[in-house]
Amino acid sequence: MHESKRKLKVLFASAEAAPFAKMGGLGDVSGALPASLLQNYKDELDIRTILPFHEVIKKLDPPMKKIGDYAFSASDQEIECQLFVSDIDGVPVYLVDNDYINHNSPVYHGDWYLDGLKYATFSLALLEAMRYLDWKIDILHANDWHTALAPYALKTTYQNDLFYQGIKTILSIHNLPYNGWGSQDAMARLGFVPSHDQDLPDWARFTPLPLGVASADKVIAVSPGYAREILTPEYGCGMEGYLQKHSNKVMGILNGIDVNIWDPETDEQISHNFSAEAFSERVNNKLDLQKALDFVVDENIPLLTIVSRLSDQKGIPAILETLPQLLDRDWQFLLLGSGSPELEQAADQLSAEHPDRIASILKYDEVISHVLYASGDIFLMPSLYEPCGLSQMFAMRYGNLPVATETGGLADSIIDFSRDPENATGFLYEDKTAEGFLRSLTLALDTFADPGTWHKLQKNAMEADFAWKKSAAKYYDVYKSL
């Protein structure tokens, strides 16, 4: 009899994971990456995910079972937790509840103290859950500021705790500016102490994301481009000095997408399925949408689309400023997004001024997002920075060609028409102003007017390989190397 090979035990900790809880790309990644790792390395990996048991997950009520209750103390508090287990595509998903998590709880309160309490307790509760399960992990893979305090706690509070010896840690950075600032009171209440790491700037020694960056054995940005950018003052958010000095532990791995969910050939959310080979049906999605929006129904009018959080990061003002300057050209525009009240109002106003060609749907709606990806001709993504970006990948897979800034993961995933017309999958531009956007959009509109060239670009984009497999292999190599 031979002993079966020992599997690497990995806990993937995140605030979101689709389809249970998704507010943006973090949810897409945390739903799909562990599943892809499990699928491709099932004999080598025992990977499980852990999430806060958010209100939205309770409402969704996926099949699950309760494991039990456990408690731990943090400073002078006794934190009582309930642990459940469900699964996403075969990956066991633990759901942790306690008073701070289930406090009438949206995924993010938007109130720093409440979010601080929620995620600082979650970061401790996820470590304690491992003890309760008596599951000794090899690797903790944390994501963004929400779980960054878990690697920090392993290096401080739990440093001498025998149960946690030898755990290696990874912190994925999906969005550096969101560093958890404002959690300080909550952290102090839970007994966290400031770091003594002299390489960290003063402000960062008691801020979740920097503490995670300083504690983790590997820091992985969600694209190689963003990994380079965060070493510079423009993108480093004050952490560039630290990251430069410790650049040996910083790397970038481009996100993938779940090509089974995001497949125009089988997608049940769209009325007319299509593929690069069976392409002629695609246009019917657009014609249906034009009709529904009371726009002129004409396949030759380019339909511009965006699906986005409405935040400064996404460069929305460039769009709202530019479109009124382009009224002498034929196009229609549909925005799906929610977020900043100012941007929502500005989008609403623009639609009210041009109801015949501009419409805004100001909400988060997964089904409509599929329809937009499948119906649009040109997908707008004028981000000021973009750690990776998944929307442009969904758009390309559905033949909706991106006009995007040449930054982070956008530059890593889109092949620019001006540089490489043969292999192009979209349009990139460097100058992150409304003028830069206007020039790039104009080029895209001119190219759309040439159906032969446009169709070639669409085919390139739809055939590009954005599946997780390649990137999952890179994560697996990192796990092994640790």
Candidate residues 14, 20, 25, 142; the one interacting with ligand GLC per rule CB under 6 A: 25
Q: Which of residues 290-319 bind ligand GLC (CB under 6 A)?
A: none
Candidate residues 98, 147, 195, 369; the one interacting with ligand ADP per rule CB under 6 A: 369
Report in angstroms the alpha-carbon separations of 159 from 166, 191, 313: 10, 14, 37
Task: Give the phi and the psi of residue 335 in degrees, each rounded to 5.
Answer: -110, 130
The minimum distance between CB 269 and ligand ADP, in angstroms, equals 11
Task: Please tell me whether residue 405 binds ligand GLC under the rule CB under 6 A.
Answer: no
Question: Please, where are the H alpha helices in 304-390?
Answer: 316-322, 341-353, 366-375
SS3 of 8-39: the string is EEEEEECCCECCCECCCHHHHHHHHHHHHHHH
Task: Please tell me whether residue 376 binds ligand ADP under the rule CB under 6 A.
Answer: no
Q: Binding partner of residue 222 among ligand ADP, ligand GLC, none, CB under 5 to 8 Å per kind?
A: ligand GLC
d(C-alpha 460, C-alpha 433), whole Å: 28
The minimum distance between CB 46 and ligand ADP, in angstroms, equals 28
Candidate residues 377, 386, 406, 412; the one interacting with ligand GLC per rule CB under 6 A: 386
The minimum distance between CB 32 and ligand ADP, in angstroms, equals 11
The amino acid present at 461, given as its one-letter code, is: A
| Site track 211-250 with ligand GLC (rule: CB under 6 A), x = hit | -----------x----------------------------
Q: Binding partner of residue 256 among ligand GLC, ligand ADP, none, CB under 5 to 8 Å per kind?
A: none
Task: Please tell me whether residue 257 binds ligand GLC under the rule CB under 6 A.
Answer: no
> By C-beta, is 302 or 426 nearer to ligand GLC?
426
Task: Please tell me whether residue 255 binds ligand GLC under the rule CB under 6 A.
Answer: yes
Question: Please, where are the H alpha helices in 190-275?
Answer: 208-215, 224-229, 233-236, 240-245
| Site track 378-397 with ligand ADP (rule: CB under 6 A), x = hit | ----------xxxx--x---
Are 461 and 399 contacting, i.e. CB atoms less than 8 angstroms apart?
Answer: yes
Matching residue, tokens 């994501």: 143
Are 137 and 175 contacting, i.e. CB atoms less than 8 angstroms apart?
Answer: no
Task: Please tell me whether residue 388 binds ligand GLC under the rule CB under 6 A.
Answer: yes
Q: Nearest residue by C-beta to ligand ADP?
A: 25
Nearest-10 crossing angle of helices 208-215, 144-155: 50
The minimum distance between CB 300 and ligand ADP, in angstroms, equals 27
Candidate residues 40, 247, 284, 338; the one interacting with ligand ADP per rule CB under 6 A: 338
Burial of 376 (0-12, 13-18, 19+ CB in 10 A): buried
Range list of β-strands (E), 53-204: 65-74, 77-88, 91-97, 139-143, 168-173
Task: Please tell me whether residue 307 binds ligand ADP under the rule CB under 6 A.
Answer: yes
Burial of 288 (0-12, 13-18, 19+ CB in 10 A): middle
Given the rule CB under 6 A, which residues bind ligand GLC? Answer: 24-26, 29, 174-175, 222, 255, 386-390, 409
Given the rule CB under 6 A, which residues bind ligand ADP? Answer: 24-26, 28, 307-309, 336-338, 364-366, 369, 388-391, 394
